[in-house]
Structure 1
Amino acid sequence: MDASIDILAIDDDKISRKIIGRSLEAAGMVPRFAENGEEGLAEAQRHIPDIVLLDVEMPGLNGYEVCDRLRQTEATKDVPVVFLSSHSSLRERMLGYEMGGDDYLAKPFEPENLIARIRVLIKYRDEQQVLQAQYEQAQKTAFIAMTGTSELGMAVQFVEKSYAHKTYEELADELFGVMDHLQLQCCLMILDADTPLWFSSEGSISPLEKELIEMADKEMRFFDFGANTIVNYPTLSLLVKNMPLDDPERYGQIKDLLPVMLSAANAKNSTISVEMALLGQSRDLLRAFGQIRTKLYYLARGMLDKQEESGGLLREMAEHINYDLLRMGLEEDQEDYLLTRIDTAIDDAMERIDSGETIYYTLSNVLSSIKGVMQNQEHIVEAFAMSQAVDSDADGKNYEGDIELF
């Protein structure tokens, strides 16, 4: 048997101690001894044994009381205990079991029987340790799995919510909300065209942090230095300032989650710029259409007013000419000739003036068409803005509580 096995024998009887010592030494072990319960407890605390051989009948603290003390002490609560007693009734054995004993050996005993019991307990102890280690590992794995599932749920929620965001600020706030739950401190750079926009989970970002993000190799997805990590995507870069380097599993989990969220944020960044440009363009078109409509209206109104004014002037001129011809004393045929020429010219002018009314009605139709286009464009802009507001409200949940993945 392995000589490194530490066995503590607590027995007040000198003969029993000698028998135990010879039996164990013959098997290659050197036990430690204590002559009473108090001394045995002190010895067990001084150096935690692998097995305790404990006599039941002792003055002061008896074996059952010593075993109870061992079980109540954190350091010795799992140490196997073998009761040694001259009584071997069922009642005695039941009492020993209730006090936390692992085996019960009646005196006098054969050395081979004692060694066999110790071997069984050593195997039992080793199996318990293996099972305990497996249990702890299983607990740890289960906790990691539950934590990972919850955090993956947050990442999925972020991806879903990102579709409704209308500005870079909203997207950055949403990302920092997840980072806060992950207990990560971050700085974020978003590229709007070629202009960098800066955001920080702590409210401010230092000049050196900006330089680190800008100068980091953009060809590398993850750029690690110390406890910091820079994650690069075409339209954004994220600096994580407190990566858990002391916990490799946690570190790996975070590195698995970041691409899920940042790839979605990168895609949304591209659409935000397009959406903002389209919305701005739509509003510019509305303003332009409004200006054109106003100008065409006044143009048509002015043409109609000029038409009426011109007709009035021609009629007035015809009256004056008729009056002047009467004063000239012309021959009748001369007067008729001049009046005919004048009437023909006036009729031609009036016909040309009347064509302005056609132009007016044409422009009126153009105005009506522009008005319809403006109304449709206004409906489109309003519907787009309302849909984004509805999506934002529907997704405006925080990350507290249960998270369903499927």
Structure 2
Amino acid sequence: MADCAICILEPNDIEREILEGILAEEKDLHFFNSGEALLSSLKMHLPALVITETQVNGESGYDICRVIKRDFEAYNTTVVFLSSHTSVDERLKGLEAGADDYIFKPYDIIELYTKIKAARERITNQVALKQQLSLASDTAMQAMSAQSEMGCVLQAVRDMNCSSNFDQLCDALFSCLKKFDLGCTVFFYKIKEPTYVPTPGRQVTPIESQIITMVREQGRIWERGSRAVFNFQRASLLVLNMPEDSDKAGRLRDSLCVLMEAFDVRVDNLNKQQQLVNARERQDAVREICNLLSNASSRLRDSVSNSHVALRELVNDFWELVPRLGLEEDQETAMHRLMDRALEDINRGFEESEETCAIVSRVIDRLQKI
């Protein structure tokens, strides 16, 4: 998908020249002055990445995005907005229209290329996901449970409590959400690392993660239209298609709060379990290091002690041997000087070895305290 067409709706000549300069190396680049011109020629450039302003000569970029997402859905077209607005409401408008990302003005080259690369990856992945969903659609419909909403939630809570890792935890959550026919993205902290996971068959878009981050501190339930975010201490759930029926939506809010509270508690438990495992692994590693250092220190001390004994025997043998060699007095004196210097060097080495043993002992003591 590296060569997917880039279609840019930009009537302003100056902005157009800037984008042409930045994207000069792109092989399949097309500019349009109006939404009508873009839509009429889009079938020739699919699958494509469309970049558009939120307002173009009186035309709404959001309306253009809706038409693209409605009429060209099967072609995996990705829409990215150019905008100088950074509010939650503007992002929500883009999300409602079906946009995949925002590029905020003033933008830089690195950001633009990063966004284009991410959009291309989403196009490629979306093609693969749609193929997978096409094969699994019939099976998924037959597997839908006839349980009530609360029965589904209670089963999901039981499954989450039995989960031994985060993948199993998310599977239990999404199994329930699938029965409610909800498209969602769940956010949680995995060992202090922010993690975003979409319902199977979807991908998390940058707008979704931005909205979750911006509304996490805005109450237990945050709602705009058919979008809702359920916030807990360690997790949040973004629902993209809350039902229009008020009674059904009310029941679903209660069910999702119960579901996410259980999810939040289990996230905390799994994080603590992983921290305990990590602490035990560190403890075992420190214990092993202490044993290795202790053995090395003991062997070093034994080596020094044995060297002392061997040296004493060597010196005694030397002093006994020298008189029998029949050396001249000056030769014997020279031999004595050589031996004295050698003994001094050896004794310094012994002292350094003793100091090394003392250092190792202090290291072992510190590690044992840790």
Q: TM-score, normalised to structure 1's length?
A: 0.41
Name the larger-Rg structure: 1
